[in-house]
Amino acid sequence: METVENSLQADLLVVGFGKGGKITAGTMARLGKRVIVVEQSPEMYGGTCPNVGCVPTKALVHRSRNRRPSDPPQEWYERAVGEVHAITSLFRKGNFDGMDGLETASVLTGHAVFTGPDTVLVDTADGPVTVRAEHILINTGSTPVIPDLPGLRTSKYLVTSTDLIHRPELPKRLAIVGGGYLGIEFAAIYRQFGSEVTLFESTARILDHLDDDVQAVAEKILVDEGIEIVTGANVTGVEDGDGEAIVQYMHDGHECTLAVDAVLAAAGRKPATEGLGLAAAGVRVTARGAVEVDDHLRTSQPHIFALGDVNGGPQFTYVSLDDSRIVLDQLRGEGKRTTTDRVAVPRTLFMTPPLAMVGLTEREAREAGHRIKVSSQPVAEIIAMPRAYVVDETRGVMKFVIDLDTDEILGASLLSVDAQELINTVAQAMRHGITASQLGEAIYTHPSSAEAFNDVIATVVRSDEK
């Protein structure tokens, strides 16, 4: 049960209930250390992922795909949102009970502000509480970026991703400003639920970091599902009209407008450091507002660490988890583990089918001076992958970039059913020196998606060999 006192002393104070801080706090509490975790919102126990990030959005991906054409969009969506909220509530309670139930750990709910290098003032519902700690973890995550466009921030039709997944009303017409991971995932989700979706991207194409061949397949999948993608679009403002918002933008030198029911700002997320009083603690921040850390995740105050999105690193829950391993190694280990130890860190865009990547693209490998061969196949042509036909998802492509001289896997882009799982196998192979030939000649269960590697890696489409 939560206990509130005027002044508390702790071995470890964690500001923010995100993944990395949660794991570190729980581990230290089980070792008998006095631990206090501060979370400013009772809706965020456990951090972004189980509450407003990975869990609810991927649950909506699944439910959007289950809607039949005969299912009324609004009814189906409202039911899906209710089911997802039940899941997040369960996770939230589990996170709170799991932490606060530890013998030497307590959770304080309230906004925390540093008042010195080792003290934090927490504004709880029962009054202010001062917490002094030997070690402090800053684990406050990130917040959505709202572009500074005329009329956008004041528009009553503006929504963030958090706003959107908490609203039971399905927008009939949805504009998404930003064509990154967040924008594309939400475009795919809401199009499947029945919204008319227009995605605005300022660059010449979406997913510009991909090789042209993979990017083209991914974009075609999205367009074929009915998502209108406007690239090279410069959104200039938003004006509230009578029951709708008017999105104003420049495209191909023309002034254009679009009437919608909601405008999703999907311009990324920024480290949540405002209002923490970091200057009072002597903690430096970067020009982007992230907490400045070294390779051991120590801040400019050696007893204060920063984990997860707030330190400006990759904004992935699994990176925050690895941050906890680095910090725990500092607190109770040998202190050798660093962020530079990370290699072959995969990432996944949860469109349908998922797009997962690790390592170098073909373009990046060539720019780095590698002599390479490229193995690639459309999913529909992979004979060794009947699972794609079994689950009726044959869209996509698998591509491997392989060092011609060493047979080392330099990178992979997998746009296919189960890609979010397959990429972990590829990443593990890259970390442990398993060659492309060894991965391609391995024995996999049948029918499975992994056995596609047997065909794809053997199918060389380009080679630098003369």
**140 annotated ligand-binding residue:** yes
β-bridge pairing 127-138 and 245-251:
unpaired
- Please indicate, yes or no, whether residues 221 and 131 belong to a single structural domain of this protein: no
Q: Determine if residue 82 is labeled as part of a ligand binding site.
A: no
33: in domain: yes
**Residue 147 domain flag:** no
Q: CA 330, CA 155: separation in Å to the nearest integer?
A: 46
Q: How confident is the model at residue 1 (pLDDT cuts 50, 70, 90)?
A: very low
Counting the structural domains of the chain, the total is 3
- Which residue among 341, 370, 391 closes a domain? 341
Same domain, 123 and 12: yes
Q: Is a pLDDT exceeding 70 seen at residue 257?
A: yes
185 is in an annotated binding site: yes
DSSP string, 105-163: EEEEEEEEEEEETTEEEEEETTEEEEEEEEEEEE---EEE-----TTTTT-TTEE-HHH
Q: Do the annotations mark residue 465 as ligand-binding?
A: no
Do 276 and 249 belong to one domain?
no
Query: Does 299 belong to an annotated binding site?
Result: no
pTM over 0.85: yes
Q: Would you say residue 1 lies in a domain?
A: no
The residues near 146 (Cβ < 8 Å, ≥ 6 apart) are 152, 153, 158, 160, 265, 267
Domain co-membership, 335 together with 356: no
Note whether 295 and 172 are same-domain residues. no
Same domain, 217 and 175: yes
321: Cβ contacts below 8 Å, ≥ 6 apart: 19, 20, 23
Determine which helix (DSSP H) or strand (DSSP E) holds 358, and give its type and residue range: strand 355-359
Query: Does the annotation place 45 within a ligand binding site?
Result: no
Is 309 labeled as ligand-binding? yes
Q: Distances in Å between the alpha carbon of 308 and those of 20, 92, 98, 105, 222?
A: 6, 19, 20, 21, 30
H helix or E strand, kind and range, residue 453: helix 452-456
Query: The CATH number of the domain where 378 resides is what?
Result: 3.30.390.30
Q: Phi, psi (5° rounding) for residue 318?
A: -70, -25
- The tens digit of pLDDT for each residue in 210-245 reads 999 999 999 999 999 999 999 999 999 999 999 999
| Enclosing domain of residue 38 | 7-142+270-341
358-398 pLDDT per residue, tens: 999 999 999 999 999 999 999 999 999 999 999 999 999 99
List, for residues 277-331, the tens digit of each pLDDT value. 999 999 999 999 999 999 999 999 999 999 999 999 988 899 999 999 999 999 9
Of the pLDDT bands very low, low, confident and very high (cuts 50, 70, 90), residue 2 is: very low
Residue after which a domain boundary falls, among 301, 319, 341: 341
Quickly list DSSP for 93-104: HHHHHHHHTSTT
Q: Is residue 165 within 8 Å of residue 60, measured between CB atoms? A: yes
The answer to whether 313 is annotated as binding is no
Same domain, 18 and 128: yes
Task: Please indicate, yes or no, whether residues 354 and 383 belong to a single structural domain of this protein.
Answer: yes
Q: Is 322 labelled as part of a ligand binding site?
A: no
3-state secondary structure of 243: coil
pLDDT for position 378: 98
CA dihedral 271, 273, 278, 282 (to 10 degrees): 10
Residue 153 falls inside a structural domain = no
**252 and 205 co-located in one domain:** yes
Of 294, 310, 341, the last residue of a domain is 341
Does residue 179 share a domain with residue 251? yes
Q: Is 104 flagged in the annotation as binding?
A: no
Q: What is the pLDDT of residue 5?
A: 52
What CATH number corresponds to the domain at position 54?
A: 3.50.50.60
pLDDT (mean) for 43-68: 87
Q: DSSP readout, 251-320?
A: ETTEEEEEEESEEEE-S-EEE--TTS-HHHHT--B-TTSPBP--TT-B-SSTTEEE-GGGGTS---HHHH
Q: Tell me which residues are annotated as active site.
A: 446
